[in-house]
Structure 1
Amino acid sequence: MTDWFTKLKNAKKSCLVDNNLKKIHYEFNDGKELVEEYDLSTNCLTKRAWRCNKQLKEEATWDIEVGDPEPQYNAEDKCMIREDSSQPFITRRITKINLEWRIRNLPYPIEVYSVNVDQESFFLIVRTTNKKYYKKISVPDLERLSIPLEQENVTFSHRFNTLIITYKKPKKLIDFEKALFEEIKQIQPKNYGEGINGCNPS
């Protein structure tokens, strides 16, 4: 089994079930924390978030890798901080057979986009021929397992001002996810508390 699987298996774990979601909280020896949420009806990951050590007694924020970003609040007045709503932003989804990215607020026609793999790294390169948008998108799911990116697995479409990028999962990734979910099923939920005990990244 892979080093990443071993790291997950050896991490300190807690779990709860909330409605149809199973939430797993991992604590690693290097101080990092990971929260994953799985839809029990599909066995698919719906959210993955990371947090590093708290520094200077301040609350560290969660970095959302998969799923919708968490709302951010000003510590003084609790007002939500909003980015310019017209700026492109990326959200990630994972299905049984695909990795998916949605880049919203891209109004250009489908003909201007290209999505190419970077053979020397684990990035997808998104460009437009009108030079209005350029983005390097990491694919940590494959990087952790040292699975090279393949251009033939990439497809994309465009609708409602959103570029939808799909990467077909390699068999090695599908097999890894199946093995990991079998491990997760063995973790007994403890439905108590909030925050870490509740596996809640917000």
Structure 2
Amino acid sequence: MAELQSWTEVLKSSRKTALIQGGKRKIHYLFSDGKEMAEEYDLKTDELIMRKWRHKSPLGAQSPWQVEVGEPLVNTPGSQDSDIIRESCSNVAFSLVSTACFQWRIRNLAYQKDVFSVFVEPSERCTSNKKYFKKFCIPDLDRCCLPLESAALSFTHANNTLIVSYKKPKEILTGEQELLKELKELRGTTEGDCKAQ
């Protein structure tokens, strides 16, 4: 619990800016080490839609945003990164967070559910699955130094999408409720208003 409190304290002590726009609560965090985190929450459900991170290089340049939760950012034609060779996007994998669980969705997998085997690898602190051969880490559990539990893991397959879910531990749920309460106090009163802390 001490590790969870320390991560919660890091979030609380960061400089935050809040904005309500397009039905979303957008929060920008600036940490003392120079890292930045941006989150978007649905105003109606309070569910996390997007979380992304960036940091400064040793020479002070900003890194590109790295998506932790939500669909990956898509480079538009003509952007500076459009010429970089990337892995095939035929199987799109992305992470979601609901109020009850962490979830990953891998699209374009036409196999039946019984072809997949999904399991926890405690030594590597990740979940794995056979057939797609992808390992998923749960950064929220790592930041709070919480163990992985096999009983919390489940998966299903529908519409050519493999959906892997990991039920959130009560420590994470409690920390999220406290943080959400603080974030709601940051919100502006009308569309486009923002408030910094």
- Category of TM-score, reference length = shorter chain: 0.7 to 0.9
Residue 78 of structure 1 deviates from its aligned partner by 7.0
Farther off after superposition, 66-75 or 151-160: 66-75
Aligned equivalents of 2:182, 2:121: Cα separation in 1: 33
Match of 2:47 in 1: 44
The structure-2 alpha-carbon separation of the partners of 1:112 and 1:49, relative to structure 1 and needing over 3 Å to count, comes to: same
1:123 to 114, 121, 126: 126
Residue 71 of structure 1 deviates from its aligned partner by 1.4
Alignment map for 1:1-202 (pairs within 5 Å): 2-53=5-56, 59-73=62-76, 74-75=78-79, 84-86=88-90, 88-128=91-131, 133-189=132-188, 191=192
Question: Is this contact kept in 2: 1:72–1:80, CA < 8 A?
Answer: no
Higher helix share: 2
For structure 1, the 5+ residue unaligned runs are: 198-202
The number of equivalent residue pairs is 190
Residue 143 of structure 1 deviates from its aligned partner by 1.3
Question: Is this contact kept in 2: 1:94–1:100, CA < 8 A?
Answer: yes
Aligned equivalents of 2:84, 2:193: Cα separation in 1: 28
SS of 1:8's equivalent? helix
The structure-2 alpha-carbon separation of the partners of 1:153 and 1:78, relative to structure 1 and needing over 3 Å to count, comes to: closer
Aligned equivalents of 1:38, 1:101: Cα separation in 2: 18
Q: Deviations 1:51-73 (Å, cap 9, x if unpaired)?
A: 11156575521101111111114
What letter corresponds to residue 34 of structure 2 in structure 1? Answer: G
Root mean square deviation of aligned Cα? 2.8
Match of 1:200 in 2: none
Q: Deviations 1:16-55 (Å, cap 9, x if unpaired)?
A: 0013211110011111100011112111111100011156
Aligned equivalents of 1:6, 1:95: Cα separation in 2: 22
SS of 1:2's equivalent? helix
Farther off after superposition, 47-56 or 29-38: 47-56
Aligned equivalents of 2:80, 2:119: Cα separation in 1: 43
Aligned equivalents of 1:59, 1:78: Cα separation in 2: 18
What letter corresponds to residue 152 of structure 2 in structure 1? Answer: N
TM value normalised by structure 2: 0.84
